[in-house]
Amino acid sequence: MLLTICSAIIYAQKSEIPTKIVDGKEYYIYQVEAGEGLYSISKKFGVTQADINNANPQIYDGIKAGQEILIPKTGKVKQPTTRVKDEDEGFILHTVEKKQTLFAISRKYDVTQEEIREANPQLAEGLKTGDVLRIPIKKKNTEPSEKRKEEKLSKEEKKKLKEAEKEPVKTGTVPTTLHIGTNETYFIHRVELKETLYSISRMYNVSVEDIIRLNPETSSVLKTGTDIKIPYQSPSNGHELVAETKVKQKTSYKIAYLLPFMLDSEKKDPTVEKFIEFYMGSLLAINNIKNGDFKIDIYTYDTEKTEVRINEILNKPEMQKMDLIIGPAYTAQIPVLTDFSNRRKINTIIPFSSNINNIETNPYVFQFNPDNDIQKDFTADQFRYKFSDANIIFAETNNGKWSEDGTDFFKFLLQKLNKSNTPYTRIGSDILSLKTIESNLRTDKRNIIIFNSEDYSSIQIYLSKLFDLSTSYDVSVLGQYSWRNKSGKKPKMYYIAPFNPDIVSAEKTLYESNYKLYYKQFHSDKNPRFDMLGYDLTNGFLKQMDNTGFKFNEKSKTLKFDGGIQSGYNFKRTSDGGGFINQQLYLIEDAPKRK
């Protein structure tokens, strides 16, 4: 899933969007615009992301600007954001959607929440679905030079600036009020006698323009005794506004879990089970730390599924003092948290997502799930080396098609095999059948088949037939990892995943024993084991804390955790100043199950 919700102006009426009939169903033909994600498109057309994915198998690795995709003609297209008439030049109108927050709207239009509030005084009564907001149009390349900044000040303020330049920098007390915002963090400063904007800016190592931006009233007058907002910047004048960031080994750490337990939900959410299992395994890792001098304080929060809830949690005073954050689970919440962790310099593990926005510029984020590029390269290597002597068959089904832009996983794999001169057979959808597959199998070689669909229900008939043929042929299928939990007859299956269920170790045996001892119940038999994922991740990072105090986050390019009970980890930094993505993948082989 793509993680950002970006601004786009689409066709105003359904009738203006071309349509076509495919297999008796009507679809819109929609051209993706720059910055659009699958989530935002699904919301515009009133369909689910799964509906779009099913209609467009070629978008396996995401969508890009200019690409045409099919949208099922169901639901209602949302009215476009419209520009305000001449009397309100400089603004666009935005209609508030259900559950949409002010933060989400500000991100969509790349303006601050404060700017939206200033343009919409009615927000003092709250944000409601259906409200029409005036959104300031962000102007490009309008950052004023220092000279222009000074010209924007009043004559009185210019006079104050000149007087302040003669004054020594004031060394007043550090403010005690700190606002941790998802859009901007600032201190509250109470203006003292004879203080000027210039002297205050020198005190906090910010510009006068920054102070005026958060406090427009100060451009005309600065009153003694009033409270003003000061944007947080790292101080250069010796003031200790926050704790020192020098890396040192500690004996006490604070860990926050941000997971969707849905405790206040009236209905049982079946997706919650895996997050509870993850949490249970993680707690066992903490319990197994034997060093008596190593203390851990645990803070657990129910994130639910909304940005609002994440904002509430991050504004809690204790959150700014965390040493490690684990979570969240839902993609809409991740940008809010990672922005916070970057500003507060808190190491954050994202256990479930494989595509984190801006990880290239955030050195405090650790993404467990390898992204699509890493998985594609790993798979291609398996076919070039492990399966180079096999009879490789690509089978194209009716519910999928080969993409023309090379981003589709199967197209990518074909290109890699062509480049390495690895032979293969391709069966097109026009002739694909159980008979044609069997006619292409060979008895003198092992056979491996790749289907161009992730839909298990559409592939199951072929898997069942291949299972029957596996007594006569050495035949296997490269499948989706989610198929491991599906019932039905299957031949030998191969899966690519960051999990290795075949790891055998004394620590794994001990873990199983402790699990039953503490929880008095049997674990889930699904793959992967999320309790083991929680244990392995937490255990690896706790050892890093205990041994080096996170010194890897300064210069290290890689971070490896060996000896996991389900997974090993090979984190690599995405770029200089960027975060880490796990590169460790396994080729899993499942033999056919016969009665």
Do 86-136 and 146-231 show the same overall fold? yes
Measured in Å, how far apart are the chain's first and last C-alpha atoms?
A: 39
pTM exceeds 0.85 for this model? no
Domain boundaries, the chain: 14-72, 86-136, 146-231, 252-369, 373-497
Tell me the pLDDT tens digit for each residue of 30-46.
Answer: 888 866 777 678 777 87
Strand 391-395 and strand 365-367: the pairing is unpaired
Residue 103 reports pLDDT greater than 50? yes
- Contact assessment for residue 465 and residue 421, using Cβ atoms and an 8 Å cutoff: no
Fill in the DSSP letter of residue 191: P
> What is residue 287's predicted lDDT score, i.e. its pLDDT?
83
As a whole number, mean pLDDT of residues 371-391 equals: 87
Residue 83 reports pLDDT greater than 60? no
As a whole number, mean pLDDT of residues 104-125 equals: 77
- Contact assessment for residue 184 and residue 112, using Cβ atoms and an 8 Å cutoff: yes
Tokens of 211: 């102070």
> What is residue 7's predicted lDDT score, i.e. its pLDDT?
30
CATH number of 252-369: 3.40.50.2300
Helix axes 506-519, 272-287, angle to 10 degrees: 110
The helix (run of H) or strand (run of E) holding residue 91 is strand 91-95
Q: What DSSP string runs through 381-429?
A: HIIIIITTTSEEEEE--TT----SSS-SHHHHHHHHHHHTT---EEE-T
- Tokens 């993404």 locate to 367
CATH of 146-231, one of 2.60.120.260, 3.50.50.60, 3.10.350.10, 3.40.50.720: 3.10.350.10
Please name the CATH architecture into which domain 86-136 falls.
Roll (3.10)
Please name the CATH architecture into which domain 373-497 falls.
3-Layer(aba) Sandwich (3.40)
Task: Give the lowest-confidence range in 184-198, 393-407, 567-581.
Answer: 393-407
Fill in the DSSP letter of residue 72: E
Tell me the pLDDT tens digit for each residue of 238-289.
Answer: 333 333 333 345 677 899 999 998 887 777 777 888 899 999 999 988 887 7
Which of 443, 378, 369, 455 is closest to 413 using CA atoms? 378
Sign of the dihedral through C-alpha 196, 202, 206, 208: positive
Protein fold of 14-72: Membrane-bound Lytic Murein Transglycosylase D; Chain A (3.10.350)
